[in-house]
Amino acid sequence: METARQGAQADRVLVIDDEPVVIDVLRGLLGKQGLDVEFASDAAGGRSVLESADWDAVLLDVMLPDANGLEVLRWIRERYPDLAVVMITAHGTVESAVEAMKAGAFHYLTKPFKNDEVRHLVARATQSTHLRRENEDLRRALEERSRFERIVGKSRPMQEVYRFIDQVAPSRSTVLIHGESGTGKELVAQAIHRRSTRTAEPYLIVNSASIPTELLEDNLFGHLKGAFTGATTDRIGLLEAADGGTILFDEISTVAPQVQAKLLRVIQEKEFLPLGSVEPRTVDVRILAATNEDLKALVEAGRFREDLYYRLNVISLALPPLRERTEDLPLLAAHFLERFNAENGKSVASFSTAALEHMLAYSWPGNVRELENAVERGVVLARGPEIGLDSLPRELRDTPQLPEPAVLPEGVGFYEAVSRFERQLIEAALRSSGGVQKHAAATLGLKPTTLNEKIKRLRIPN
Ligand SMILES: Nc1ncnc2c1ncn2[C@@H]1O[C@H](COP(=O)(O)OP(=O)(O)OP(=O)(O)O)[C@@H](O)[C@H]1O
Ligand SMILES: [Mg+2]
């Protein structure tokens, strides 16, 4: 005999049927199965009992004194799409059974009942309800995931970033993270490390932009005593210090060519030479790299080794700029508001509507970092419960507002109107940038390739 899942609450089954014999039989059968069973004898009663609690399955008679069971079925399907409904039909009424299946019943039982069939079907019905609910919960969790590690954002592009991190984190692969300044490259690198099997091992960041090449080499590879003047003892480098863990090469484009070659060896052979040594040392370090430059272009310009580029670029992630995911802006702004309130002992509650409108219209060339700074400034300057327009940085206040959208002129369709507006904006930007597409693209906050496509599509002479 099947019993209710141990430790869990008993499954709840509602029977809507007016026939005393049916009620008796089901009470006995389902009770023994460890289910929590309740009864309603008509459609009206059934609806109100359904609404009063959560149910795991419903057994519903097709012929009720006050309604057709199929109507009740449709009502249930609409309100509780996850709840499995088993229809009870009289022997020989195949049509209503077929209709019930079409209307979304989980299955049907024919009177008189076969005990085994009832037990089996009800068990499957409750399972089906549970599965559908779990699926739904999972889907919702994914959809609404608005934070991932310390990363805030729930737009589609960010959901893709989260999925990507989960996919690449467990492997040992090198990952190249690129994106404009302030898009969160460091946060992503850290999330990859934290979600990897190396999470308990060291995570180090090397920023080659901020140190001279000799010092970078010494820091990375370490040295033997006497390797150079001042090297009075052996010293291990960051590569060895990070053994078993992860190193992020931030601003990888700034690594000097001589170090690029050595880095390639680390990635390919997992080995390197400390300064002054001829014996290679082996390390197990996962390498992540971040850049806001177009590495491919640097390769073409001869400033970055092609072989290293291909090694780094095996798996790459492009982080979306903030202006391409403005739906995340209110979420991020609220997140920073909370943080800077706490840091400054303030309790600014929100942004004024005008402030938020300007924030949404702004192009945020410095991305999330720029937003973070703007909110900090706003919190510090705010005198009331709100951050008003006057507490935002000048660039933001100056964001021109769009003209009031006009009513479509007679005979002009929506898409035609949008195209004309696009054309006007692009022509104005081209004029003000002397026809240089790259500059016009920057003014418009578009990628040069996107602008070029639009220019071709709209056949704008340029
Ligand atoms: N999605 C995000 N959620 C929360 N904070 C973010 C997010 N993205 C960026 N930040 C914050 O913005 C700031 C800049 O992020 P980060 O340093 O990761 O950017 P970056 O891409 O490395 O920029 P750069 O190229 O200028 O070094 C950090 O303070 C970071 O915490
Ligand atoms: Mg950075």
pLDDT band at 3 (very low <50, low <70, confident <90, very high): very low
Ligand 1 atom closest to the CA of 183, numbered from 1: 21
What percentage of the chain has pLDDT greater than the value 70? 94
User: Is the confidence at residue 401, as pLDDT, over 70?
Assistant: no
HEC-encoded secondary structure of 395-458: HHHCCCCCCCCCCCCCCCCHHHHHHHHHHHHHHHHHHHCCCCHHHHHHHHCCCHHHHHHHHHHC
Alpha carbons 362 and 192: distance in angstroms, whole number: 30
Alpha carbons 429 and 130: distance in angstroms, whole number: 56
Looking at the structure, do residues 354 and 375 belong to the same domain, yes or no?
Answer: yes
Q: How far is the CA of 401 from the centre of ligand 1 (A)?
A: 28
pLDDT band at 1 (very low <50, low <70, confident <90, very high): very low
Of the listed ligands, the closest to the CA of 177 is 1
Alpha carbons 375 and 369: distance in angstroms, whole number: 10
CATH of the domain at 306: 3.40.50.300
pLDDT band at 180 (very low <50, low <70, confident <90, very high): very high
CATH of the domain at 339: 1.10.8.60
Q: Is residue 2 part of a domain?
A: no
Q: Is 178 in the pocket of ligand 1 (CB under 6 A)?
A: no
Lowest average pLDDT, out of 161-175, 307-321, 370-384, 444-458, goes to 444-458
Q: Is 322 in the pocket of ligand 1 (CB under 6 A)?
A: no
User: Is the confidence at residue 405, as pLDDT, over 80?
Assistant: no
Q: Is the preceding peptide bond at 393 cis, omega within 30 degrees of 0?
A: no
Q: How far is the CA of 370 from the centre of ligand 2 (A)?
A: 13
Q: Which of 141, 165, 192 is the last residue of a domain?
A: 141
Q: Is 182 in the pocket of ligand 1 (CB under 6 A)?
A: yes
Q: Is residue 6 part of a domain?
A: no
User: Is the confidence at residue 142, as pLDDT, over 80?
Assistant: no
* pLDDT value at residue 182: 97
Q: Is residue 404 part of a domain?
A: no
Lowest average pLDDT, out of 12-26, 234-248, 305-319, 417-431, goes to 417-431
Looking at the structure, do residues 219 and 367 belong to the same domain, yes or no?
Answer: no
User: Is the confidence at residue 432, as pLDDT, over 60?
Assistant: yes
Tens of pLDDT, residues 324-355: 998 899 889 999 999 999 999 999 989 998 89
Q: Is residue 452 part of a domain?
A: yes
Looking at the structure, do residues 327 and 313 belong to the same domain, yes or no?
Answer: no
Residue showing tokens 């419960």: 385
Mean pLDDT over each residue of the chain, to the nearest integer: 90
Q: Is 61 in the pocket of ligand 1 (CB under 6 A)?
A: no
* Mean pLDDT for the stretch of residues 429-440: 82
Q: Could you tell me the two tokens for 267?
A: 């990635």
Looking at the structure, do residues 184 and 328 belong to the same domain, yes or no?
Answer: no
* pLDDT value at residue 83: 96
Q: Which phi and psi angles does 230 have, rounded to 5°?
A: 100, -15
Lowest average pLDDT, out of 114-118, 134-138, 193-197, 359-363, goes to 134-138
Ligand 1 pocket mutation pick from 156, 368, 375 by most atoms within 8 angstroms of CB: 368
User: Is the confidence at residue 133, as pLDDT, over 80?
Assistant: yes
* pLDDT value at residue 221: 96
Alpha carbons 167 and 369: distance in angstroms, whole number: 26
Q: Is 292 in the pocket of ligand 1 (CB under 6 A)?
A: yes
Alpha carbons 102 and 124: distance in angstroms, whole number: 19
Alpha carbons 4 and 15: distance in angstroms, whole number: 18
Q: Under DSSP, is residue 45 helix (H, G, I), strand (E, B) or coil?
A: helix
Q: Is residue 402 part of a domain?
A: no
Tens of pLDDT, residues 243-275: 999 999 999 999 999 999 999 999 999 999 999
Q: DSSP states of 290-349 as a string?
A: EESS-HHHHHHTTSS-HHHHHHHTTEEEEPPPGGG-GGGHHHHHHHHHHHHHHHHT----
Most confident of 358-362, 411-415, 438-442: 358-362
Query: Which of these, 4, 2, 21, 20, lies nearest to 12 by C-alpha position?
Result: 4
- C-alpha 343: how far from its chain's center? 27
Number of folded domains that form the chain: 4
| Atom 10, ligand 1: residue with shortest CA distance | 184
- Strand ranges of the sheet holding 57-61, from the earlier edge strand across to the other edge: 36-40, 12-16, 57-61, 84-89, 107-110
Helix (H) or strand (E) holding 350: strand 350-351
| Atom 8, ligand 1: residue with shortest CA distance | 184
Radius of gyration (C-alpha) of the chain in whole angstroms: 33
pLDDT band at 139 (very low <50, low <70, confident <90, very high): low
Looking at the structure, do residues 357 and 332 belong to the same domain, yes or no?
Answer: yes
* pLDDT value at residue 357: 85
CATH of the domain at 445: 1.10.10
Looking at the structure, do residues 313 and 440 belong to the same domain, yes or no?
Answer: no
Contacts of 113 (CB under 8 A, 6+ apart): 22, 25, 26, 29
Q: Is 151 in the pocket of ligand 1 (CB under 6 A)?
A: yes
CA distances, 29 to each of 7, 310, 360 (Å):
22, 67, 61
User: Is the confidence at residue 138, as pLDDT, over 70?
Assistant: no
Q: How far is the CA of 151 from the centre of ligand 1 (A)?
A: 9
Looking at the structure, do residues 224 and 357 belong to the same domain, yes or no?
Answer: no
Looking at the structure, do residues 312 and 207 belong to the same domain, yes or no?
Answer: yes
Looking at the structure, do residues 327 and 299 belong to the same domain, yes or no?
Answer: no
Ligand 1 atom closest to the CA of 328, numbered from 1: 1
Looking at the structure, do residues 154 and 303 belong to the same domain, yes or no?
Answer: yes
Residue showing tokens 């390797």: 227
Contacts of 316 (CB under 8 A, 6+ apart): 175, 176, 177, 178
Looking at the structure, do residues 302 and 207 belong to the same domain, yes or no?
Answer: yes
CATH of the domain at 65: 3.40.50.2300
Q: Is residue 4 part of a domain?
A: no
Of the listed ligands, the closest to the CA of 162 is 1
User: Is the confidence at residue 7, as pLDDT, over 50?
Assistant: no
Alpha carbons 428 and 278: distance in angstroms, whole number: 62
* pLDDT value at residue 5: 42
Looking at the structure, do residues 211 and 295 belong to the same domain, yes or no?
Answer: yes
Q: How far is the CA of 249 from the centre of ligand 2 (A)?
A: 10
Q: Is residue 406 part of a domain?
A: no
pLDDT band at 2 (very low <50, low <70, confident <90, very high): very low
Q: Under DSSP, is residue 110 helix (H, G, I), strand (E, B) or coil?
A: strand
Amino acid at 232: T
Q: Which of 367, 397, 427 is the last residue of a domain?
A: 397
What percentage of the chain has pLDDT greater than the value 90? 69
Ligand 1 pocket mutation pick from 146, 329, 372, 376 by most atoms within 8 angstroms of CB: 372
Q: Is 152 in the pocket of ligand 1 (CB under 6 A)?
A: yes
Domain housing 392: 323-397
Q: Is residue 77 part of a domain?
A: yes
Beta-bridged to residue 16, according to DSSP, are 40, 60
Beta-bridged to residue 286, according to DSSP, are 246
* pLDDT value at residue 440: 84
Q: Which of 275, 291, 318 is the last residue of a domain?
A: 318
User: Is the confidence at residue 91, as pLDDT, over 90?
Assistant: no
Tens of pLDDT, residues 367-385: 999 999 999 999 999 988 9
Alpha carbons 419 and 423: distance in angstroms, whole number: 6
